[in-house]
Amino acid sequence: MRDAAQLSSRIPVNLFRTMKKYKNDLILFGALLMVFFAVIIWNLFTAKPGGFVEVKVDGELITAFPLSNNIEYEINGINNGKNILIVRDGEAWIESASCPDGLCVNMGHIRNTGASVICLPNKVVIEIVGDATDDASVDIEVGQ
Ligand SMILES: [Zn+2]
């Protein structure tokens, strides 16, 4: 109830009355939200090999590669930053990078869906998506 009291001090009284009226709906919504997060957490802990690695720079999807391929790709990060992405044997990693901290290189190899390597200085993110058991028909949207 402490949260509700804090909330009521910030929002118009009418809205609070409306919220009380729909209290059951809010409880249902809260329950759905919890299920939603439970699914996300479940996915985080049930590691499964991914199908693709996505490359994002400054939040924008640049490209994606199937993990079944062996590639070496130079990612152009912001401020002329460079990250060398390697995909081999179902794994992806940053082999080398121009960033001063080198954290992205130290984060090592990723292979499971949802795993990612982030290079903050270059604003580069590589993330494993999809499922290794998916066939090549998985839709990967590149660009806008
Ligand atoms: Zn880095």
Instruction: Please state, in angstroms and rounded to a whole number, the distance separating the CA atoms of residues 89 and 143.
Output: 26
Ligand 1 centroid from CA 125, angstroms? 9
Pick from 1-5, 18-22, 92-96 the range whose average pLDDT is largest: 92-96
Inform me whether the pLDDT recorded for 99 exceeds 90: yes
CA of 119 to the centre of ligand 1 (A): 4
Q: Is the pLDDT of residue 28 over 70?
A: yes
Most confident among 22-26, 55-59, 135-139 (mean pLDDT): 55-59
Strands (DSSP E) contained in 12-136 are 52-57, 60-66, 71-76, 82-88, 91-97, 116-119, 124-129
pLDDT digits (tens, 9 = 90+) for 44-97: 677 788 899 999 999 999 999 999 999 999 999 999 999 999 999 999 999 999
pLDDT at position 45: 72
For ligand 1, the distance from its centroid to the CA atom of residue 39, given in whole angstroms, is 30
- pLDDT above 90 covers a percentage of the chain that reads 62
State both tokens at 113: 């869906």
The fold adopted by the segment(s) 52-129 is mini-chromosome maintenance (MCM) complex, domain 2 (2.60.320)
Burial 29-59 (b: 16+ CB within 10 A, else e): eeeeeeeeeeeeeeeeeeeebbbbbbbbbee
Place of tokens 């499922």: 131
Cα of 82 vs centre of ligand 1, distance in Å, is: 9
Ligand 1 centre to CA of 78 (Å) is: 11
- The pTM score is 0.62
pLDDT confidence of residue 46: 73
Can you tell me the distance from the alpha carbon of 35 to that of 123, in angstroms, rounded to the nearest whole number?
Answer: 32
